Structure 1
Amino acid sequence: MSKLRFGVIGIGNMGSGHAYSLLSGKVRGAELTAVCDGFESKREWARTHLNGAAVFEDSSSMIDSGLVDAVIVATPHYDHPTEAIQAFDKGMHVLIEKPAGVYVKQVREMNEAAASSGRTFGIVYNQRMNPLYRKLRELIASGELGEIRRTNWLITNWYRSQAYYDSGSWRATWAGEGGGVLINQCPHNLDLWQWTTGMMPVRVRAFCAFGKHRNIEVEDDVTAYVEYANGATGVFITTTGEAPGTNRFEVTGDRGKIVIEDDKLTFWRLRESERAFNARNKEAFGAPECWKVEVPIHGGSTEHVGIIQNFTDAVLNGTPLIAPGEEGIHGLTISNAIHLSTWIDGWVDLPLDEALHEAELNKRIAESSSRKAQVQTDAKPADLTGTF
């Protein structure tokens, strides 16, 4: 195979953006050969704007056409696992948009289907291409920071107005999206939280406010506290109702502290480990010597195109995936645990009680103001400016 032929499932905002990236030749070794969508208005848009790509009503027909080797799943959240499993069953390589799904059980089933298929499976965690977070991961994995003791992420710059939520009947509903800021805006942050540190929590206590700042039924304000197996703790705070917002990720270890904020990575590095200093220190108010280091970051982030390029290289050349699809379950597990902790008003241990979470979610879906049939009606294709 000299070129990987892509089909895009769902040509709303993200799907149309991916289609344009492929069509314009931004991804080496890849080509857009087909797209599909259940809405005629979007298919008509595709016929006009995606010259040369075959247009289908559904993914099954597109895959059965023999025109594609791989698919990008860019449908509403609930349908990501369903579409991926069907594609694996038909021998496709699969790249899914974030989040991996809405609840862990369906994502676990998707991961099992991927493993059985033997095909390449990726997820569009485009923030893994950001050199800031790649450097943080490198510093932690190398032991430069020592054993992690605390993580704190204050991510409140996801501002969304009521007009944003009113732009689609499916937005910010349990039936339409399956959640609010955690499932829509924060999947990247939740992924990076565990990916950079290499740590998953062992238990979670969280407090979500539903419709606190906006007239919506899902969470728009979250404070979560987590504990790790090594005794470290973490806090994750997010909202869509705060302006101006903050994005500050802080990781403290035995050998100092790293902060990512304002597109900079700062390392307050201890001359010796805190543990070693404490063992030898005899001064009542002594403290370890510390150097402030502004860590140089080289290059920019290739974002979505970078992920699609890496996925293409993985299929064609065996290049290791930066964002394996199977890893989508990690951030989603944290998200599910945060929801569940709020719903039951108590601690949630990991591994997650998937059945309990699904039962609680289904209660809210049953009362939701949206229905899945409405989910795609308001999603618009991108305007082909490259911003989506």
Structure 2
Amino acid sequence: MDKVRIGILGLGNMGTGHARYLIEGRVEGAVLAAVSDVRSERLELAAQEWGTELKLYSTAEELFYSGEVDGVLICTPHYDHPQQAAAALKAGLHVLIEKPAGVYTKQVREMNEAAARSNKVFGIMYNQRTNPLYAKLRDLITSGELGEVRRTNWIITNWYRSQSYYDSGGWRATWAGEGGGVLLNQDPHQLDLWQWTTGMMPKRVRAFCSFGKHRNIEVENDVTAYVEYENGATGVFVTSTFESPGTNRFEISGERGKIVIENDKMTFWRLRVSETEFNATFKGGFGQPECWKFEIPVSDGGNHMGITQDWVNAILHGTPLLAPGEEGIRGLELSNAMLLSTWTDGWVDLPINEDLFYEKLQEKILSSDKHKDANSYETLDVKGTH
């Protein structure tokens, strides 16, 4: 194989964006061979814009078994990702899914098991892993330059969404339509980066989520979560969709200093000696380790095309994936844990009780306005698929 024939499932904003750079030939070793969408008008527009040579399919199954593609990029609604990924893998196709991996970890774990059985290349569109800021942060932590991580703090409130945004689609911000709010829609990249850069998952979570705060919506749009790690470190994650202006600041404190990412810049306050060594040897009253401030130079980056290229390279050349699809469950587990902590009003240990989360989610789906609207959401069932 010298070219990977890619099919795109779902021609919404993300699917259309992926299609355009593939058609422009910006991913080496890849060609867009086919697209699929349940909406006939989207297929008609695709034919008009991209030409009649592109194969068009109205169902996922037709695309998967067409023989026209080697791999698929899945850009459908959240609930569909695990089911469709497993079906594509079973059909013998390589798979790249858009984030999030799914809505609940029980379903995503089944998808991961299907991937393990398939011997196919399975990736997830965590394009922020290609962002040099976070790649450098991961390097500074894993290399030991920061020392042992002692505290993480991420405040990301620059996701402003107006009521008109939520009203633009009946599926938006509903339990039945999307399965969650800011944690599932806006924050999957940050939840992934939080654990990926530090190399740590919390051992337990206590979160406080507000649902429909200052907005007429069903799902969470304001979250404050506190986490504890095995090594004694702690962390805080704060996010919302109604603050203007918002903030995006990621701060990591370690044994050898502090790193802050804010306004697309990285600053490293580096201690000349580790805090542990200073504390063991200092005999004065008040005092602190000598600290040097550095602006860490990084280049621009972090686009979707980079992950697609990485996936294609893995298919053609066997190179390791930057964002394996199996790792999508980690950020999702953090999201699920925060919601479950709020619903049960208590601490949640990781790994979470997946059956309990599923049970609580079904309660939300059954009470969802979207679920009650049979005319606009006829195919939903309470297992969370559509």
Using structure 1 for the length normalisation, give the TM-score: 0.95
**Aligned mates of 1:362, 1:331 — CA distance in 2:** 21
User: 1:334 maps to what in 2?
Assistant: 334
AA of the residue aligned to 1:111 = N
User: 1:222 maps to what in 2?
Assistant: 223
Instruction: Say yes or no: does 1:272 pair with 2:273.
Output: yes
User: 1:381 maps to what in 2?
Assistant: none
**Aligned mates of 1:152, 1:376 — CA distance in 2:** 42
Change (3 A) 1:179 1:233: same
* Contact 2:129 2:302 (8 Å CA) reproduced: no
Runs of 4+ in 1 over 2 A off after TM superposition: 371-377
User: 2:202 maps to what in 1?
Assistant: 201
Change (3 A) 1:334 1:375: farther
* Contact 1:169 1:375 (8 Å CA) reproduced: no
* Contact 1:111 1:326 (8 Å CA) reproduced: yes
**Aligned mates of 2:133, 2:60 — CA distance in 1:** 37
| Aligned positions of 1:305-324 closer than 5 A | 305-324=305-324
Cα deviation for residue 376 of structure 1 reads: 11
AA of the residue aligned to 1:207 = F
AA of the residue aligned to 1:144 = E
**CA RMSD between the two structures:** 1.3
Change (3 A) 1:332 1:111: same
Equivalenced residues, count: 376
AA of the residue aligned to 1:341 = S
3-state DSSP class of the match of 1:308? helix
3-state DSSP class of the match of 2:195? helix
**Aligned mates of 1:301, 1:376 — CA distance in 2:** 41
CA offsets 1:170-217 (integer angstroms, 9 cap, x no match): 000000000000000000000000000000000000000000121100
AA of the residue aligned to 1:70 = G
- State the structure with bigger RCO (CA 8 A, min sep 6), 1 or 2: 1
Cα deviation for residue 50 of structure 1 reads: 2.4
CA offsets 1:25-69 (integer angstroms, 9 cap, x no match): 111100000000111111111111222311101111112110000
Unpaired stretches in structure 2, ≥5 consecutive residues: 380-386
* Contact 1:76 1:375 (8 Å CA) reproduced: no
Instruction: Say yes or no: does 1:135 pair with 2:136.
Output: yes
User: 1:177 maps to what in 2?
Assistant: 178
Q: Which moved more, 1:180-189 or 1:282-291?
A: 282-291
CA offsets 1:80-128 (integer angstroms, 9 cap, x no match): 0010000000000000000000000000000000000000000000111
User: 2:166 maps to what in 1?
Assistant: 165
* Contact 2:132 2:302 (8 Å CA) reproduced: no
**Aligned mates of 1:373, 1:86 — CA distance in 2:** 27
**Aligned mates of 1:278, 1:205 — CA distance in 2:** 31
User: 1:114 maps to what in 2?
Assistant: 115
User: 2:288 maps to what in 1?
Assistant: 287
Change (3 A) 1:376 1:54: farther
Q: Percent identity?
A: 64
**Aligned mates of 1:172, 1:302 — CA distance in 2:** 27
* Contact 1:176 1:374 (8 Å CA) reproduced: no
User: 1:369 maps to what in 2?
Assistant: 369
3-state DSSP class of the match of 1:168? coil
3-state DSSP class of the match of 2:342? helix
**Aligned mates of 1:112, 1:95 — CA distance in 2:** 15
User: 2:350 maps to what in 1?
Assistant: 350
User: 2:39 maps to what in 1?
Assistant: 39
**Aligned mates of 1:251, 1:231 — CA distance in 2:** 14
AA of the residue aligned to 1:359 = E
**Aligned mates of 1:156, 1:319 — CA distance in 2:** 36
Unpaired stretches in structure 1, ≥5 consecutive residues: 378-388
**Aligned mates of 2:305, 2:117 — CA distance in 1:** 27
User: 1:83 maps to what in 2?
Assistant: 84
Cα deviation for residue 375 of structure 1 reads: 6.5
AA of the residue aligned to 1:255 = R
Cα deviation for residue 302 of structure 1 reads: 4.4
AA of the residue aligned to 2:9 = I
Change (3 A) 1:137 1:288: same
**Aligned mates of 2:378, 2:287 — CA distance in 1:** 61
